Structure 1
Amino acid sequence: MKQELEILLPPEVAFDEFARYEAILRQAGLRPGEADFVHLRKRSIDARGRQPLVRLRADVYRGAPPAELFGPWFRYPGVAQARRTVLVVGAGPAGLFAALRCIELGLKPVVLERGKDVRARRRDLAALNKEQTVDPDSNYCFGEGGAGTYSDGKLYTRATKRGDVGRVLRRLVQHGATPDILVDAHPHIGTNKLPAVVQALREAITGAGGEVRFGARVTDFILENNRLRGVVLADGAALTADATVLATGHSARDIYELLHRRGVLIEAKPFALGVRVEHPQELIDRAQYRRPARGLLPAASYALVQQTEVQGRQRGVFSFCMCPGGFIVPAATAPGEVVVNGMSPSRRDSRFANSGIVAAVELEDLDVAQHGALAGLRFQQALEQRACQAAGGTQRAPAQLLGDFLKNKPSIQLLETSYQPGLVPVRMDDVLGAPLAERLRQGFASFGRKIPGYATNAAQIVGVESRTSSPVRIPRDQHTLQHPVVRGLFPCGEGAGYAGGIVSAAMDGERVAEAVAALLD
């Protein structure tokens, strides 16, 4: 027999395993020993009252619990001699999960990653932070695990209708992620722990007979009569396969350029861009919890949104990829541009909180007449190049105190920051342009009314946050998930415009792999 219940507990009880167990049994009307198993299903922080509480959902079993609570774990058959081969371009979450699902379905994946494995990649990130040297193939966006590996590791998604979220989380746990991600309302692995998980996913692929090749940047497609037969790599190698999954991530601009040059149909799509805002974490904790977090409670986060109107056009301004207890990192993928992103380690114990604050960019905001499908990409590039020039041509980032930005006055000095390359005081209007700057001002003014102390000179904004999602969509048939014109091409994940984060990209990778298997059956 199963009894479902929901209970609110103080943090000191909720995070103490024995005390939590006793409290759940009391709620169920049982004494210790009268339950055979307690399954914690969901855990979230409820900070609406005077004191923050932890909301738990649990199932109490009298009798043996169902076996599915403990699995199923994933079994990978050997595919080294499989009859069908699939090229998977990109080793981010979409590509890795597509490859694993291919293996489950009896297909041999060959994963092509332009960057390096997680260990070698770490050295290039150190050079980017300390020496401000950008490697176009190995950075915070490119390399094993994609942009998520060294940028944060948040696993929350609203895309629950696109696939089985629980399946993705269970696969991550099987490969080394903390089981807490199966319970927490906003699961998070942390940038310090994700590399080991990503490496384990890769080892599962190679252990089953699949291949993963690093330093394998695609420079051309092998196209015959509107069919993609394979790809050409930077070293001149030509690889062919029965199908190609294109899962290159939202920053692979050379792939968009290649598709456009080769006449493969792509489309401009809406996206969002803006800045990172950085606060002392204690300010956010006190605003959300009305007290410091003090160990038991996780570093507080927030989610904010405001509708704005500039020049007669309404656009949303919203927080994006909020990183409590985190760091701002340089996410440029080429010299001559400055891009910032956020990350949090698993403990979220930095003194800083940061979040993207971005405004929606619609097609009517872009010069589609001149740039066509690449209009959003060109818009991004121009903003990132202005940011680099304004801050002196290195990876130092332009910044302004938030209170000064709201008053449209220059900042003489800036605050301490988590951004290692350093900040340069700049009037952010000169980087963002008047319409975008005005939208952000309206948004920040609204957010300051919602969170005490938020919109003051206790915070600073850092530019630019421009890689929120792909500015290009690679179209695909809604049923077969194949490109509508080029057969054998399966656009996938964030880079194709069909996902927005680790979990949604992983789910899309699995869906695409299933579509490939159905076509090749």
Structure 2
Amino acid sequence: MIKEAEIVCPPGQQDDENVLKTLASASINIPQKRITGVRVVKRSIDARGRKVVYRMQVQVFVDEHFKVEHYNHQYQDVKDAKRVIIVGAGPAGLFAALQAIDNGMKPVVLERGKDVKQRRRDLANINKQGLVNPESNYCFGEGGAGTYSDGKLYTRSTKRGDVKGVLETFVAHGATEDILVDARPHIGTNKLPQIITAMRESIQNAGGEVIFDAKVTSLIVEFGKIKGVQLANGEKLFADAVILATGHSARDVFEMLHHQNILIEAKPFALGVRIEHPQEIIDRAQYHCEFRGPDLPPSYYSLVEQVDARGVFSFCMCPGGIIAPCSTDADEIVVNGWSPSKRNNPYANSGTVVQINMEDIKGDMNDPFRMLKFQQEVERVAFKAGGGNLVAPAQRMVDYVEGRLSRDLPDNSYLPGCKSTELQEVLPGWIGERLRKALPAFGRKMKGYYTNEAILVGVESRTSSPVKIPRDRETFQHPQVAGLFPCGEGAGYAGGIISAAIDGVNCADGAAKYLG
């Protein structure tokens, strides 16, 4: 028989099979010799008490063979099947392609950027020289933004689809099984490229296609139905279904749709800065100890405060992480964060942003680019404030709140470099004031957070797409163009790797129904 149990385990022993059997035996009151194995279902760190512990939900195998689970997946041959074009090879596009294969369709994935290996050179140029390739950067290229900006898999989108299935697909392509059980699963930027490559190979081995340097410049639409796409080189590719999974930074795609009189809409997003602390400050606050021991991972935090009827919140927190330059054009500053799998860098960073509602931005309420223009304007102001070469405007935390220029800046992880700037001159006043009020409040919630050892780096602006591509809730199709499936973060239906992957699966299912 298999019994469910909850056990509490000291740090450092959470992977010890004998310890787990001993704890499980005591929990279900069955002799340990009858237990053939313990499978961890969920695992999380509980730092609320004086001692930090792991809380674990487990399955206990009693008097029966312990079954080892396997996650390999066999994909059918779709070389000669109906084609579905997928624009974008981020998580939404890759998972749409794999689901298309399971649904008996041949995916043709078009990626404007390069494969994961070739992207590294362009990222090196961004970090070392401040040079941005608009087609290959932290946002564009195989795997999308998540490949080289962290690989966090935490999501609240449990009602949108099969989260477990998405995680198992990552495991089948090389991720560790830890992501199936950890409360805050994480792959790491150093490991994701190999996993993304394996996913691409699964698509190709099944008869699908993945084409790089293939920028879509127009959709082919006849009598209200999609018929294919045209590429920048003039080539036309034809299919009766197109999944548009281009990510939240593909501004030219929004312009393309608008030019073709295909409906898009402005939508709310959030904007602020990325805040970095020494990791040891966060560890002391969260683990209630002077030094984090080797048996505990670097700690994370999540903070939110309502300020003048707007939410101010931490976003995309990266323990042991690095601040990355994620601009997609040469005259803008955009920052994000990432962590390697071991999260062993000395800093902790998090986006800290203010919610922007539609009524906050003046202008034509019917202009679908209203929010995007605002986003772009702030990014360009930040670039000018930094002085060029992707140098970012920055300020110490207390200096920012108290309105004085920082005489110097702490050591930090942002490789292109930071320039001491009064961020009130970069952030719009109503955003800056809310952020200024929120930071001391965060400090009251988390000891040590409010400190001049922390640096604010501007700007964190690509939290989500400022444009939405509408679609039908049931069919996932655009209301004006049959066979066009807006998908993922760029269309406004996801907010991270897992939710984007789930949306890709849902759109592939929608395409299968449409194609019959």
TM-score by length of 2: 0.98
Counterpart in the other structure of 1:300: 299
SS of alignment partner, residue 449 of structure 2? coil
Q: What CA distance in whole angstroms lies between the structure 1 residues aligned with 2:319 and 2:370?
A: 33
Counterpart in the other structure of 1:347: 342
Residue 370 (structure 1) shift: 6.8
- Listed one character per residue, the Cα deviations across residues 170-223 of structure 1 (whole Å, up to 9, x for unaligned) are 010000001100110110000000000000000000000000000001111112
Residue 338 (structure 1) shift: 0.5
State whether residues 149 and 338 of structure 2, in contact with CA within 8 Å, keep that contact through their aligned partners in structure 1: yes
Counterpart in the other structure of 1:358: 353
Q: What CA distance in whole angstroms lies between the structure 1 residues aligned with 2:235 and 2:320?
A: 44
State whether residues 354 and 435 of structure 2, in contact with CA within 8 Å, keep that contact through their aligned partners in structure 1: yes
Residue 130 (structure 1) shift: 0.3
Q: What CA distance in whole angstroms lies between the structure 1 residues aligned with 2:494 and 2:365?
A: 27
1:407 lines up with 2:407 in the alignment:
no
State whether residues 15 and 296 of structure 1, in contact with CA within 8 Å, keep that contact through their aligned partners in structure 2: no
Percent identity of the aligned residues? 55
Q: Match of 1:10, as an amino acid? A: P
Structure 1: any 5+ residue segments left out of the alignment?
A: none
Q: What CA distance in whole angstroms lies between the structure 2 residues aligned with 1:76 and 1:14?
A: 34
Aligned structure 1 segments of 4 or more residues deviating by more than 6 angstroms: none
Q: Match of 2:25, as an amino acid? A: L
- Listed one character per residue, the Cα deviations across residues 48-74 of structure 1 (whole Å, up to 9, x for unaligned) are 00121110110112244697x725642
Residue 324 (structure 1) shift: 0.3
Check 1:377–1:294 CA distance in 2 against 1; reply closer, same or farther (3 A cut). Answer: same
Q: Of residues 403, 423, 426 in structure 2, which corresponds to 1:428?
A: 423
Counterpart in the other structure of 2:16: 16
State whether residues 247 and 496 of structure 1, in contact with CA within 8 Å, keep that contact through their aligned partners in structure 2: yes
Q: Match of 1:46, as an amino acid? A: D
- Listed one character per residue, the Cα deviations across residues 423-468 of structure 1 (whole Å, up to 9, x for unaligned) are 0000001000211100111211210111112111010100000000
1:74 lines up with 2:69 in the alignment:
no
Deviates most, 2-11 or 393-402: 2-11
1:465 lines up with 2:452 in the alignment:
no
Q: What CA distance in whole angstroms lies between the structure 2 residues aligned with 1:66 and 1:515?
A: 38
Counterpart in the other structure of 2:442: 447
Q: Match of 1:397, as an amino acid? A: A
Counterpart in the other structure of 1:251: 249
SS of alignment partner, residue 60 of structure 2? strand
Residue 513 (structure 1) shift: 0.3
- Listed one character per residue, the Cα deviations across residues 344-382 of structure 1 (whole Å, up to 9, x for unaligned) are 000000000000000101111123517711111101100
SS of alignment partner, residue 70 of structure 1? coil
Q: Of residues 228, 231, 239 in structure 2, which corresponds to 1:230?
A: 228
Counterpart in the other structure of 2:145: 147
Residue 15 (structure 1) shift: 4.0
Residue 416 (structure 1) shift: 0.2
1:166 lines up with 2:164 in the alignment:
yes
Q: What CA distance in whole angstroms lies between the structure 1 residues aligned with 2:457 and 2:366?
A: 28
SS of alignment partner, residue 345 of structure 1? coil
Matches within 5 A, 1:8-407: 8-64=8-64, 70-71=69-70, 73-82=72-81, 84-291=82-289, 292-309=291-308, 314-369=309-364, 372-407=367-402
SS of alignment partner, residue 87 of structure 1? strand
Check 1:403–1:214 CA distance in 2 against 1; reply closer, same or farther (3 A cut). Answer: same
Q: What CA distance in whole angstroms lies between the structure 2 residues aligned with 1:65 and 1:433?
A: 63
SS of alignment partner, residue 40 of structure 1? strand
State whether residues 371 and 378 of structure 1, in contact with CA within 8 Å, keep that contact through their aligned partners in structure 2: no
Q: What CA distance in whole angstroms lies between the structure 1 residues aligned with 2:14 and 2:166?
A: 26
Check 1:72–1:379 CA distance in 2 against 1; reply closer, same or farther (3 A cut). Answer: same
State whether residues 75 and 104 of structure 1, in contact with CA within 8 Å, keep that contact through their aligned partners in structure 2: no
Q: What CA distance in whole angstroms lies between the structure 2 residues aligned with 1:242 and 1:72?
A: 32
State whether residues 483 and 514 of structure 2, in contact with CA within 8 Å, keep that contact through their aligned partners in structure 1: no
Q: What CA distance in whole angstroms lies between the structure 2 residues aligned with 1:15 and 1:112?
A: 41
Counterpart in the other structure of 1:3: 3
State whether residues 129 and 389 of structure 2, in contact with CA within 8 Å, keep that contact through their aligned partners in structure 1: no
State whether residues 133 and 328 of structure 2, in contact with CA within 8 Å, keep that contact through their aligned partners in structure 1: yes
Aligned-residue Cα RMSD (Å) equals 1.3
Residue 480 (structure 1) shift: 0.5
Q: What CA distance in whole angstroms lies between the structure 2 residues aligned with 1:9 and 1:172?
A: 27
Check 1:152–1:65 CA distance in 2 against 1; reply closer, same or farther (3 A cut). Answer: farther
Q: What CA distance in whole angstroms lies between the structure 1 residues aligned with 2:169 and 2:332?
A: 36
- Count of residues in correspondence between the two structures: 515
